[in-house]
Amino acid sequence: MKHFIKYFILSLFIQFAIVSAQQPAFPGAEGWGKYTIGGRGGRVLEVTNLNDSGPGSLRYAVDASGPRTVVFRVSGTIHLKSDLSIKNPYITIAGQTAPGDGICIADYPLKIDADNVIIRYLRFRLGDKAGLGADGDAMSSRYHKNIIIDHCSLSWSIDETMSLYWCENLTIQWCIISESLYSSTHEKEEHGYGAIWGGKNSSYHHNLFAHHSSRNPRFVSGSGNTDFRNNVIYNWGFNSIYGGELHDQNYSESPATRINLAANYFKPGPATKDGVRNRIVAPSTRNGLLDYGKWYVADNYVEGSPETTQDNWQYGVQNVYPQYKDSIKSDSPFDYMPITQQSAEEAYLLVLDSAGAILPRRDAVDKRIIDEVRNGYANYEGKTYRVKQGFSKDHPVTGIIDSQEEVGGWPELKQGPVQVDSDHDGMPDFWETENGLNPQDASDGSSFAENGYTNLENYLNSITSFPDFIPTPSDLRGELIDFSKVKLSWVDNAENENGYKIERGIISGESEIVFELLAETEKNTTNFIDFSAEELTTYYYRVAAFNDSLSSDYSDTLIITTLSATSPPLKANNPIPFNKESFVSLTTALEWEAGLNADYHEVYFGLQNPPPFVKTVTENYFKPGNLEYNTKYYWRIDEINSNGKTTGDTWYFITKKICLPK
């Protein structure tokens, strides 16, 4: 019986694997990686914070084992403190689930060191803050199989922006690869490269390359059957596409290079050198004829060069020894996995409309890049490329940058409303109810529907847009400016609000807070004074933004208790020197903002914590006398009136160091 159960379970698993292997990763998955399984049928892991590590972080979900789908309950930029490596197979990362403006990965690379990986709708904008060198790719992978990267945006790399090669059954589709850093922290100095691609059964379609000096992409030696079609290449510098040697000398298993370059759109820009403006590809060799790969080059469109568009091979295939050029040409395409293909001109329009992390919405970087491609110009450049490549001072802005800071750095990605998911199965309650599922049953997410996808996958695949929202006001604070006058302040995170509504609540019954509308303000307001509060009452405040059709989530609730003439004073605050301040003058005075209703102040000051009592004063000012170099001093102010004393917080500062003559 045990053997029967064992073989029965094994049989079910094999059947599941066969069915999954025949099911596209998602509707619209195409190319050699289209049948990637990812995390299908596995558990759901929620990303609930933007931390580098720990429970609720992206790293925590990536490091988990077993089939898993990663969904997001937060939007924003994750500033990594080390490489993020996918080491365990069978994972789907669904960036389209982020509520708000989406997710960006910054500072360190994503490395795919596992098979069966699906990544969709994420941004990988590396930047130079970590000082990386040759390992500074925004995303990379080698020697793995069954991978599909869909609708991702990658930029600001130190080495290449997106290098996935010598992988098998790989698709990269509908991605934006832009603005690699030309003169940054790479050991070899100038780089600014787009990608290294190629591998056994690899597909690259409907991607956009923009603002790279070279490698748009470079095809690796030993690329095998590599298919590159319906891509857009804009503003390459001194080289567009090259590489593709027949075999790799250091990778004995590399298959012979057979590359299709079909129906791509080439648009030179202000950084493109005159000698390569009509270049489609420069096939590479190390040993003459025996080391060239084989190439099928057809139906590519080169803007500004009608003769190259008419005859790709004669005019667009360059830097090949003339006596060998005909021998590396194929008149028919090599074996490839068909995609939904358009003409180069049609693909150009589709890529500009739909490439990159368009879900939950395009960020400011991608919007700018698309505008620059569409209109054939650039807004920014670094200091190096123009000089190194010999462009004149009056030449248009090149678009080749040295640092992300030159284009404004990482844009703020705002948080949107989080949909209720009671059973944490990755599907919001409203969607489960609409589709006949149980919002209280976490197991139904991994159940298969009639179309061959799990219910969770059907939800993920149903996300085609994220509704407009108003960002929630944050950092709500309050202070008493009189016994019963409350001043509120908050951070305005919205750009599309008509105003803010302030609600005030009190406890009704045992524990329920009953809120009522207190006031509505105009747009761009960040403070409000409540003149109607009563003395000796505890109030609960919250704030939300609104416009004609939408309202944001409420801010965190603020609790304030009003005072009366018979109340002890509030704490002193706003110390000078600031708490934990360093390099303080030896002759500094102590100052503070007196607590409401304080008549006089007890000063505590010294080298110990808690500090000893020194003096009682009536002014919010005290001169401790001459101090010692490089010494930590603690101090505290207790506020006093006839109704009592309020003990203050303990602060400290460190005096400046003595500077010895050199």
CA 632 to chain centre: 41
Alpha-carbon distance 160 to 165, whole Å?
12
Is pLDDT larger for residue 433 or for residue 291?
Answer: 433
Integer Cα distance of 108 and 94 in angstroms: 20
Residue 547 has, within 13 A of its CA and on its CB side, a CA count of 12
Q: Are 182 and 400 in contact (CB under 8 A)?
A: yes
Catalytic residues: 215
Check: CB of residue 262 under 8 Å from CB of residue 296: yes
How far from chain centre, in Å, is Cα 321? 44
* Alpha-carbon span 221 to 199, nearest angstrom: 9
Q: Give the residue-averaged pLDDT of 545-570.
A: 92
- Asked whether the predicted pLDDT for residue 109 surpasses 60, the reply is yes
Instruction: Specify the CATH architecture of the domain 474-561.
Output: Sandwich (2.60)
Please give the Cα distance from 14 to 398 (Å, whole number).
55
Say which residue the tokens 């050029």 belong to.
325
> Across-strand partners of 148?
118, 171
Q: Is residue 630 a contact partner of residue 655, using CB atoms and an 8 Å limit?
A: yes
More confident residue, 455 or 252: 455
User: How confident is the model at residue 249, as a pLDDT?
Assistant: 82
Residue 497 has pLDDT above 90, yes or no: yes
Structural tokens at position 555: 């801010």
The SS3 call for residue 349 is: helix
Q: What DSSP string describes 512-567?
A: EEEEEEEEE--TT--EEEE--PPTT-EEEEEEEEE-SS-BPPPPPPEEEE---TTS
As a whole-number percent, the residues of the chain with pLDDT over 90 amount to: 87
* Rounded (5°) CA angle 276-281-283: 120
Q: Are 173 and 31 spatial neighbours (Cβ–Cβ below 8 Å)?
A: yes
Residue 214: helix, strand or coil by DSSP? strand
Going from N- to C-terminal start, the domains of the chain cover: 135-407, 429-462, 474-561, 573-655
pLDDT of 440 above 70? yes
Taking 60 as the threshold, does the pLDDT of residue 8 lie above it?
Answer: no
Whether the upstream peptide bond of residue 577 has omega within 30° of 0, thus cis, is: yes
Domain range 135-407, CATH architecture: 3 Solenoid (2.160)
pLDDT band at 12 (very low <50, low <70, confident <90, very high): very low
pLDDT score, position 185: 75
Asked whether the predicted pLDDT for residue 399 surpasses 60, the reply is: yes
The predicted structure's pLDDT at residue 135 = 76
Asked whether the predicted pLDDT for residue 44 surpasses 60, the reply is yes
CA pair distance 70, 87, nearest whole angstrom? 15
* Secondary structure (3-state) at 592: strand
User: Nearest to residue 126, comparing CAs of 170, 74, 77, 88?
Assistant: 77
Nearest residue to 126 (alpha-carbon basis) of 403, 407, 373: 403
pLDDT given for residue 145 in this prediction: 98
pTM comes to 0.84
Q: Mind listing the pLDDT tens digit for each residue in 354-369? A: 999 999 999 999 999 9
Residue 375, Ramachandran bin (φ over 0: left; ψ between -120 and 50: alpha; else beta):
alpha
Specify the DSSP class assigned to residue 144: -
What six digits make up the tokens of 29?
A: 């998955």
pLDDT for residue 467: 83
Mean pLDDT for 614-620 is 96
The reported pLDDT for the residue numbered 220 is 96
In 403-532, which ranges are E strands?
Answer: 474-482, 485-491, 499-508, 512-520, 527-530
Which 3 state secondary structure label does DSSP give 118?
strand
Give residue 578's pLDDT band: very low, low, confident or very high (50, 70, 90). very high
**Helix/strand number for the chain, H first, E second:** 9, 43
> Where on the phi/psi map is residue 418: left (φ > 0), alpha (ψ -120 to 50), or beta?
beta
pLDDT tens digits for range 308-322:
999 999 999 999 999
Q: Rg (Cα) of the chain, in Å, rounded? A: 31
Q: At 444, phi and psi to the nearest 5? A: -75, -15
pLDDT confidence bin for 13, thresholds 50/70/90: very low
Place of tokens 């945006």: 153
Which residues does residue 35 pair with via DSSP β-bridges, in sequence order? none
Please report the pLDDT score of residue 569 as a whole number.
92
Average pLDDT taken over every residue of the chain = 94
Main-chain dihedrals φ then ψ at residue 91, nearest 5 degrees: -140, 140
Does the pLDDT value for residue 189 go beyond 90?
Answer: no
Residue 15, pLDDT above cutoff 70: no
Q: Are strands 613-617 and 600-606 parallel, antiparallel or unpaired?
A: antiparallel
> Do β-strands 294-298 and 103-106 pair in parallel, antiparallel, or remain unpaired?
unpaired
183 contacts 205 by C-beta, under 8 angstroms: no
Asked: is 573-655 a CATH 3.90.1170.40 domain? The reply is no
In degrees rounded to 5, what are phi and psi of residue 160? -100, 160
5: pLDDT strictly greater than 50: no
Supply the pLDDT for residue 278.
98
Q: Which residue has the higher pLDDT, 8 or 459?
A: 459
Same fold, 474-561 and 573-655: yes
Listed range (53-67, 104-118, 297-311, 501-515) with the worst mean pLDDT: 501-515
Q: How many Å apart are CA 533 and CA 561, to the nearest integer?
A: 10
Give pLDDT tens digits for 54-95.
Answer: 999 999 999 999 999 999 999 999 999 999 999 999 999 999
Answer whether residue 6 shows pLDDT above 70. Answer: no
CB 297 within 8 A of CB 317: yes
List the structure tokens of 576.
């000078």
